[in-house]
Amino acid sequence: MTTTASARGREVRHRLLAAATELIPEVGWSSVSTRLLAERAGVAPGLVHYHFESLAVLLRQAALDVFRQALSGTEAALAPAPDLDAGLELLLASLDGYSGADPTSLLFIETYLAATRDQALGDELAELLYEFRSRLASWLRQHGAGDPEQTAAVLAAAVDGVMLHRALDPGLTSATVSPALRRLLATGPDRRRDT
Amino acid sequence: MTTTASARGREVRHRLLAAATELIPEVGWSSVSTRLLAERAGVAPGLVHYHFESLAVLLRQAALDVFRQALSGTEAALAPAPDLDAGLELLLASLDGYSGADPTSLLFIETYLAATRDQALGDELAELLYEFRSRLASWLRQHGAGDPEQTAAVLAAAVDGVMLHRALDPGLTSATVSPALRRLLATGPDRRRDT
DNA sequence: GATCGCCTTGGGCGATTGTCCAACCATAGC
DNA sequence: GCTATGGTTGGACAATCGCCCAAGGCGATC
């Protein structure tokens, strides 16, 4: 049980980040205070500014961690699908676990908003979005969807929009949106002119 | 130039609401303070709590006013369309005026978030969303789209999602998303089984 | 046992928060 | 000119904010 000082420090950093991912959805990004954070993490208030340069840096790191984790989880969900329709069902099913008002969904929206007021956060978030859409596009291309890049962009946006609206309308489940989104993936009846 | 007291009061109420619609996107819902609001409106700080029961009530009313105005504007945009594709183009074109990081877009997202923490706001917002989707669905039905209700719900969500992502990716214009969304409205190649 | 390095503590700093209120002003009816 | 009436003013209040820092704790190294 030899807990070195640096190991305890690492533990505290982790607890503070975990507390941030809890509190951002609960009280809102800009209402997460150093004292609230420290209390939730079970550490002394002064530790926040010892381990992190500022409150903004802490929140940014916590949010980006959750984002990366959620995106890779979503990608993993649709990996084993044999075709487009099956993949869409798997993707939507993996999202049925979120109500739109759950911590993860709210943290997503809070982060989108915070990104409009924090240049650094916005840059990193845009990069994550581009990478995710790129992988989604290549998956679509592999399974024969037309216009992979554009379709991926609209599908990603549509899914986020559904989560946004689901908080107001709990009936907006995968069963409800699946038929319409299937049409989105369908290879259009009119064939492409170029490329 | 006989300005009665009640007329001046009405004017102040209006200026405070206008200031709120400016400040919510600028600094974030929960960072709109009474003093900031009064300063922007050019009135004394004490007037906020004279004309409004609380800060929350003021923000709620301001946000809902903008919501109602924006939704009726969107409806008006697609009213003159002769068919589905033309209507979609008009709707998307009317949204090209918003960057995703503009005041109106940000106020929308801020309001969605605030609604998850303000029961009364959430209820009113859900009602507005239902009404809008209902009118959108009847428009879709009139022009021969299949599954009008579900399609309207997904279209409304997709449009909001596109606005959310546009802040991170300015290239997500109507020209980019139009082809994919047109497929969304297309009457599917497989015909409906029931109804 | 002394020293070093990292982590931790608890409170101080000035600024800002929502809400309230006593006092004040101007207009309308008489 | 007097009195209601409704609007307005600017400051008081306790609470909270981000950030900072002197002081102390403690395992590792010599």
Judge whether B169 and A126 are in contact, CB under 8 Å.
Answer: yes
Measured distance CA(B120)–CA(B127) in Å, rounded? 11
Measured distance CA(B27)–CA(A83) in Å, rounded? 45
In DSSP notation, A86-112 reads HHHHHHHHHHTT--SSSHHHHHHHHHH
Average pLDDT of every residue of chain A: 91
Instruction: Report the pLDDT averaged over residues B8-31.
Output: 94
- Tally of CB atoms within 10 A around B146: 18
> Which residues of chain B neighbour A157 with C-beta distances below 8 Å?
158, 161-162, 164-165, 172, 177
Measured distance CA(A44)–CA(A35) in Å, rounded? 8
Q: Which nucleotide is nearest to A47 (CA to C1')?
A: C8
Q: What is the pLDDT of residues A134-177, one digit of tens each?
A: 999 999 999 988 899 999 999 999 999 999 999 999 999 999 99
Write out the two tokens for B148. 């009008």
Break chain A down into helix, strand, coil percent, rounded to 5. 75, 0, 25
Q: Which nucleotide is nearest to B10 (CA to C1')?
A: D7
pTM attached to this predicted model: 0.91
Picking from B113, B153, B168, the nearest residue to A28 by CB comes out as B113
Q: Which nucleotide is nearest to B6 (CA to C1')?
A: D6
Judge whether A155 and A185 are in contact, CB under 8 Å.
Answer: yes
Q: Which nucleotide is nearest to A56 (CA to C1')?
A: D18
Q: How many Å from the CA of B54 to C1' of D5?
A: 23
Q: How many Å from the CA of B170 to C1' of C19?
A: 42
**Contacts for A96 with CB less than 8 Å, ≥ 6 apart:** A173, A174
Helices within chain B (DSSP H only): 5-27, 34-41, 47-51, 55-78, 84-95, 103-115, 119-142, 148-166, 174-185
Q: How far is B52 from chain A (nearest CA, A)?
A: 23
Picking from A130, A157, A179, the nearest residue to B158 by CB comes out as A157
Judge whether A105 and A99 are in contact, CB under 8 Å.
Answer: yes
Q: What is the pLDDT of residues B88-122, one digit of tens each?
A: 999 999 999 999 999 999 999 999 999 999 999 99
Instruction: Report the pLDDT averaged over residues B167-190.
Output: 87
Q: For residue A79, name the pLDDT band (cuts at 50, 70, 90).
A: confident
User: Is residue A42 scored above 80 in pLDDT?
Assistant: yes
**CB contact (8 A) between residue B112 and residue A150:** no
pLDDT at A195: 36
pLDDT at A194: 40
Angle (nearest 5°) at CA A174 between A169 and A178: 115
Q: How far is A71 from chain B (nearest CA, A)?
A: 15
pLDDT at A6: 72
**CB contact (8 A) between residue B129 and residue A161:** no
In DSSP notation, A152-175 reads HHHHHHHHHHHHHHHTT-TT--HH
User: Is residue B2 scored above 70 in pLDDT?
Assistant: no
pLDDT at B8: 76
Closest alpha carbon to B110 in A139, A39, A113:
A113
Write out the two tokens for B38. 């009064």
**CB contact (8 A) between residue B115 and residue A31:** no
Picking from B112, B151, B154, the nearest residue to A158 by CB comes out as B154
Q: Which of B27, B154, B174 to mutate to test the interface with A (most CBs of A within 10 A)?
A: B154
Proximity of residue B35 CB to strand D below 7 A = no
The larger pLDDT score, comparing residue B10 to residue B64, is at B64
Q: Dihedral sign, CA of B79, B80, B82, B85?
A: negative
> Domain A5-185 belongs to what architecture?
Orthogonal Bundle (1.10)
